[in-house]
Amino acid sequence: MNILNYRSSYLRRILSTIERRNDGTLIQIKLPNILPEIFQIILRYIYGGRLSLEEYDAL
- Return the pLDDT at 4: 80
- Return the pLDDT at 21: 72
Cα 34 to Cα 20: distance, rounded to the nearest angstrom: 23
pLDDT by residue for the chain (59 residues), tens only, comes to 678 878 888 888 888 887 777 777 767 788 888 898 888 888 888 888 877 777 666 55
Cα 5 to Cα 36: distance, rounded to the nearest angstrom: 19
CB 59 within 8 A of CB 38: yes
Cα 31 to Cα 34: distance, rounded to the nearest angstrom: 6
Q: pTM for the complete prediction?
A: 0.60
Fill in the amino acid letter for 24. G
- Return the pLDDT at 43: 87
